[in-house]
Structure 1
Amino acid sequence: MTAPTVTPTRRRGPLVLINLATLLSATGNGITVVALPWLVLQQTGRATDAAIVAGAATLPLLLSSLFSGTVVDRFGRRRTSLVSDALSGISVALIPVMAATVGLSVPLLAALAALGAAFDPAGIAARESMLPAAAKDAGWTLDRSNSLYEANYNVAYLIGPGVGGVLIAMIGAVNTLWVTSACFLLSIATIAFLRLEGAGLPDRETRPESMWTGTLEGLKFVWHNRLLRTLALVDMAVVALYMPVESVLFPTYFTELGQPAQLGWVLMAMAVGGVIGALAYGALASRVRRRTLMLLAVSALGACMVGMAFLPPLWVTLTLALMVGLVFGPVGPIANYAMQTRSPEHMRGRVVGVMTSTAYAAGPLGYLLTGPLIDAVGIETTFFVLAIPVCVIGAVCFALPALRELDR
């Protein structure tokens, strides 16, 4: 008599909780992206001041993301997620508190924006590090869980700014920040219910000795792993060349046209394409090689940027923006897969932190190049200066042997 087959119990709860917490936290950040500049403009009416506050919110991300993985690996994934959201929520809540008591100034807003941004990467790294265990509990593949996670993250940044704009119109910019704090509070409540293997305090023998040595270990590991090093360098180059398109070139172009609404449509088309592309990856991963999708993403991005550089009619630009999102949607899940499968369990946080920091480092480099170029040679020429190197990177990627490891 044969023994009955025991079917392992599948628990989708942890995967649901991680995605819900990510949605809440990222939506809160998406609301802040709109509310803070609006608040500064209400206070001073000067766009320069809004740029100062926005810059203060992005500069800390480089260092904090670099060290965030060491925090995760030293103090535990679940605890880091809880503390990160708590500190982010408090820093945002301080803005309406200060507005009601001592009043707001640009330096104070810049300091609070920097403080809030500094805590975010640790929470992101913590939740990404928990995905493999949650996928295992749910009986999902890593590709499917990463696809849902990245699509969920894109949805948050799609709805967050829209919700922020509506709330500002209804209750004002200061009170809108209370809603952001509530998003972080709900994220904390969500993770508080999470019970997952490997999410607690790491074993003493596997913890980093210090923040500095742990971060150095993460940097060395990524550099000596051929696939992770290649992905980090390609991502860094592409981000440096592409991010100014969304943040500098298109805003300048549509401002000169006097059509700010069209800028919103273009950015929304990219976000929608990103959501669809990330979700599609979950279905395509078992049929199409990851390397093929990666090559398609970088090559198509370069081609779309060249098309945009001609400053075509709006419907063409919208089509190209949607295509950019579609082809690049799978890149996030693919990068997550590489980090999850190439890093030891006890170093996963540090690997995620180091890989994330390369993208944060690249953005400012692109901005420094783009602003002076626009002033010197104009929008169209600057577009080509950025687009052609992306095409070259796409061609080079075909010859990189490390990318073949994505399918091993």
Structure 2
Amino acid sequence: MAVASSAIILDHRRLPVTTDTATITRRRTPLVLVNLAALLSATGNGITIVALPWLVLEQTGRATDAGIVAGAATLPLLLASLFSGTVIDRFGRRLTSLVSDSLSAVSVAAIPILAATVGLSVPLIALLAAIGAVFDPAGIAARESMLPAAAAEAGWSLDRSNSVYEATYSTAYLIGPGVGGMLIAITGAVDTLWVTAGCFALSIATIALLRLDGSGKPDPETRPTSIWSGTLEGVKFVWRSRLLRTIALVDMALVALYMPVEGVLYPAYFTELGKPAHLGWVLAAMSVGGVIGALAYGALAAVAKRRTLMLLAVGGLGICMVGMAFLPPIWLTLTLAFLIGLVFGPVGPIANYAMQTLSPEHMRGRVVGVMTSSAYAAGPLGYLAAGPLIDAFGIRPTFFALAIPVVVISLVCFALPALRDLDLPQKA
């Protein structure tokens, strides 16, 4: 919340002298609440990223098992995120966020409860991870769909509001993994998951306070007639937009190649070294860079082209991943992680801007859901491939096998004409 609050304080817009403090608070409260809920929910997920692989590695010591659990937590996200947008456009953004976080809290709390009663096994952990993952996309997409209306009430531009929102998410993944690593060292991976459940509960309380136009039950005339038909409309809309289609395809490739680094490679590497806190440090360094990069986007958008920032992000990711593949000393690994977050920070706000300006209001949930599911589609393949590769060839060769294709993708992006559409005037 500190990031969101400080950014709001720094708003230098001239307000009418007759505007009182209560009016200002009412206008900005929705934006603060949306960001705070995102911070709390994402912090819980950030803790889980560290806790679940560590829990499995403590039990079996096999990277393949960690990959199975990571894949199980990601595989349901494909269908869940694909249909989540239609659920939002059909039942409403606020209600969807509340139900999503409630179900996520219950599924996460089940892990320590079962650990204390019947015991845990890899298949059971994978099942609980899969169940918990089903509910996350709807909540994420619901909050993101509320952002334009909240920004309008605050009088903020889309670029500025997206900048703060993505910085909030990066802050959450700074807090979550760092706290997760420390809690694992102090209390163990199982009890650490109680904190995740608590984060979801606080997010629920935050959204319960939210009152925002467009967040309630949608107009019957614009609601999708069914989950299937609504989802199909969203898929067609995204595919027919060459910019959204290109962003989705590039994102799929990058997720498949990078996510195993956080979810499998580094957990396996630091498990071998017996240094759980180092995993939290690496993810935290990346999040610090992401906070700075996302916040900087609010200013950079006025002077730099969005396409240029996108190309810098993808190229920087490839170069830094190659450097990480050498498994350098921890200080250099932290530097590279910070740089990844820094150059990639503007990508989230840029993608949000494209979705917000190209999608009709009544279809925004579906567009966000489809775009999100395109990234989740590649995640399980990356996770499931990384574990066996590590067991067969080792961590360093697997790292290079993932890093080099990212460099190739960055070169391809320079030749993609669709990315030039990022700098065309759009109607929000």
Q: Same fold (TM over 0.5)?
A: yes
Mapped to 2, the partners of 1:266 and 1:80 lie a distance apart of: 33
User: Which digits, 9 at most, give the CA deviation of each residue in 1:145-188, with x for residues without a partner?
Assistant: 11111111121122123333444566665554443323222211
Alpha-carbon distance, 1:206 to partner: 1.0
1:389 equivalent in alignment to 2:372: no
Alpha-carbon distance, 1:404 to partner: 1.4
**1:78 paired residue number:** 94
**1:136 paired residue number:** 152
1:145 equivalent in alignment to 2:161: yes
**1:288 paired residue number:** 304
1:269 equivalent in alignment to 2:259: no
Mapped to 1, the partners of 2:284 and 2:230 lie a distance apart of: 39
1:125 equivalent in alignment to 2:141: yes
Q: Secondary structure at the match of 2:221?
A: helix
**Tell me, which stretches of 5 or more residues in structure 2 are unaligned?**
1-15
Q: 2:320 aligns with which of 301, 304, 316?
A: 304
**1:23 paired residue number:** 39
Alpha-carbon distance, 1:98 to partner: 4.0
**2:131 paired residue number:** 115
Mapped to 2, the partners of 1:165 and 1:252 lie a distance apart of: 14
1:229 equivalent in alignment to 2:245: yes
Which range is displaced more, 239-248 or 18-27?
239-248
Mapped to 2, the partners of 1:355 and 1:272 lie a distance apart of: 25
User: Which digits, 9 at most, give the CA deviation of each residue in 1:8-43, with x for residues without a partner?
Assistant: 96511000000111111112222333444555567x
Mapped to 1, the partners of 2:305 and 2:327 lie a distance apart of: 34
Q: 2:363 aligns with which of 341, 347, 351?
A: 347
Which range is displaced more, 374-383 or 199-208?
374-383
Mapped to 1, the partners of 2:415 and 2:174 lie a distance apart of: 35
Mapped to 2, the partners of 1:334 and 1:134 lie a distance apart of: 18
**1:398 paired residue number:** 414
Spell out the pairing of 1:94-113 with structure 2 (5 A cutoff). 94-99=110-115, 102-113=118-129
Q: Secondary structure at the match of 1:12?
A: helix
Q: Secondary structure at the match of 2:211?
A: coil
Which range is displaced more, 236-245 or 130-139?
236-245
**Tell me, which stretches of 5 or more residues in structure 1 are unaligned?**
none
Q: 1:170 to 1:309 in 2, by over 3 A?
A: closer
Question: Which amino acid is 1:232 matched to?
Answer: A
Q: 1:160 to 1:352 in 2, by over 3 A?
A: same
Mapped to 2, the partners of 1:96 and 1:350 lie a distance apart of: 34
Which range is displaced more, 287-296 or 99-108?
99-108
Q: Secondary structure at the match of 1:204?
A: coil
8 A contact 2:43–2:172 mirrored in 1: yes
Mapped to 2, the partners of 1:110 and 1:363 lie a distance apart of: 15
**2:199 paired residue number:** 183
Question: Which amino acid is 1:132 matched to?
Answer: P
Alpha-carbon distance, 1:383 to partner: 3.7
Report the TM-score, using the length of structure 2 for normalisation: 0.85
RMSD: 2.8
User: Which digits, 9 at most, give the CA deviation of each residue in 1:293-352, with x for residues without a partner?
Assistant: 001111222222333344444443332222111100110111111111111111111111
User: Which digits, 9 at most, give the CA deviation of each residue in 1:230-263, with x for residues without a partner?
Assistant: 1001111122222233334444555556665544
Question: Which amino acid is 2:164 matched to?
Answer: L
Mapped to 1, the partners of 2:75 and 2:378 lie a distance apart of: 11
Q: 1:224 to 1:29 in 2, by over 3 A?
A: same
Mapped to 2, the partners of 1:382 and 1:376 lie a distance apart of: 9
Spell out the pairing of 1:6-85 with structure 2 (5 A cutoff). 11-37=27-53, 44=59, 47=62, 51-85=67-101
Mapped to 1, the partners of 2:407 and 2:184 lie a distance apart of: 40
Q: Secondary structure at the match of 1:399?
A: coil
Q: 1:35 to 1:275 in 2, by over 3 A?
A: same
**2:353 paired residue number:** 337
Mapped to 1, the partners of 2:294 and 2:212 lie a distance apart of: 25
8 A contact 2:174–2:283 mirrored in 1: no
**2:259 paired residue number:** 243
Q: 1:150 to 1:103 in 2, by over 3 A?
A: same
**1:367 paired residue number:** 383
